[in-house]
Amino acid sequence: MISLSIEDLTKRFGEVTALHRIDLRIAAGEVFFLLGPSGCGKTTLLRSLAGFYLPEEGRIRFGEDDVTHVPPHLRNTGMMFQSYALWPHLSVARNVAFGLEERRVPRKEIDRRVAEALESVKMGAYGLRRIHQLSGGQQQRVALARALVVRPRCLLLDEPLSNLDTKLRIEMRGEIRRICKESGLTAVYVTHDQKEACSIADRMAVLEAGHIRQHGTPAELYRQPHSRFVADFMGETNFIEGKIVSRSGTHAEVATPMGPFSGHTTGGWQPEPGAPCVVSIRPEAWRLSGNGASDAAANRVRGRLQERVYLGEMAQYRFAAEGGALKIYELNPRFVETGGDRDLAAQAVPEDVVVLPP
């Protein structure tokens, strides 16, 4: 179990700078996610940790060891690729044993460690099967066992669940976290799926155009984003343009076309009165009620429902209000509102109202 340190890391491909002076610390035993849209630099950063890319500037440390210019085979990392890269002509056990055979580990030791690795991913009974006889989820477990069997200092995963169907992806999320924690591994995991990241990660970093825009726990990034980009990438939200009326510490009063809002700033942003801003409110933070006498209250918007989608555990509404439309999610709906001609009010508590730079 080791910590990882990335210091002022810069990586270029020709005239394109893929990573801009990245600074990051990953604690020993932590499951850390690199999250962001395609082309943001997350896979470049993962491959730099593995040693496949050498940076132009900066350092990478595994614990106290500077591995910036150490070749991949000497870094002792376990790498799990999106494609799994399994050998179709070899049995499950031989696929898992491949890395140990390359290291010339004695045969008895190989057999013992392969059996342990397959048991850890619940594939102990499948050692003699061929790869084509396995389901996608089983192949994914074999690839994970192959990465674990070499007893890596850290585990690197490049979108390992992207080829699985929805049900298997959800099942394997918990399995990957369980295996990492039981094995005491430091893991770095690349994905563009924020739900996958939130369900597994201890902490995560959101990247954009080669920069880390924010890092922290899943709850911090979802509930306390520092920018419009992070708020939007971490999940659906309602953005409402406005201007700062007053601010005291992190508390802010905002005027918008939909009415007054009371919320809080994040990331140390300290806007002056009159400064433009954008209010972010998640769809599930709204509460619908009948229109009442307190319509002028902060965070309360009057309107009518225009569209309704029932999804079982959730109902999605399009709420037409003066000054724009809102996305509102009702969790565990008892019924789906059907009357579009009735005036309603939507309200959010100040803790769910995030005031961001424009």
Question: Domain map of the chain by residue range?
Answer: 4-223, 236-356
Residue 109, SS3? Answer: helix
pLDDT at residue 293 in the model: 46
Type and span of the H or E element at 283: none
Pairwise CA distance, residues 92 & 88, whole Å: 9
Tracing tokens 């225009």 back to the chain, one arrives at 306
CB 204 within 8 A of CB 32: yes
Give the E-state strand segments of the chain in sequence order. 4-13, 16-26, 31-35, 57-62, 65-66, 77-80, 154-158, 186-191, 203-208, 211-216, 238-248, 251-256, 259-265, 276-281, 287-290, 300-310, 314-321, 324-331, 344-347, 354-356
pLDDT at residue 176 in the model: 85
> Angle at the Cα of 337 (from 332 to 339), degrees rounded to 5?
175
Long-range pairs for 226-231: beta carbons < 8 A, 24 or more residues apart: 226/266, 226/267, 226/269, 226/356, 227/267, 227/356, 227/357, 228/278, 228/280, 228/356, 228/357, 228/358, 230/206, 231/280, 231/354, 231/356
Residue 354, SS3? Answer: strand
Pairwise CA distance, residues 4 & 60, whole Å: 7
pLDDT at residue 341 in the model: 63
Query: How many angstroms separate the Cα of 11 from the Cα of each of 42, 47, 210?
Result: 12, 11, 9
Per CATH, the number for 236-356 is: 2.40.50.100
Type and span of the H or E element at 67: none
Interhelix angle 136-149/92-102, nearest 10 degrees = 20
Name the CATH superfamily, with its identifier, for domain 4-223.
Answer: P-loop containing nucleotide triphosphate hydrolases (3.40.50.300)
What is the residue type of 58?
A: G
Pairwise CA distance, residues 282 & 351, whole Å: 11
User: Tokens for 85?
Assistant: 């890269």
Question: How much is the pTM?
Answer: 0.88
pLDDT in tens, the chain (358 residues): 799 999 999 999 999 999 999 999 999 999 999 999 999 999 999 999 999 999 999 999 999 999 999 999 899 898 888 777 889 999 999 999 998 988 899 999 999 999 998 998 889 999 999 999 998 888 888 988 998 888 888 999 998 887 777 887 888 888 889 888 988 899 999 998 999 999 999 999 999 999 999 999 999 999 999 999 999 999 999 999 999 999 999 999 999 999 999 999 999 999 999 999 999 999 999 999 876 545 557 899 999 988 889 888 899 999 999 889 999 999 888 777 665 567 889 999 999 999 999 9
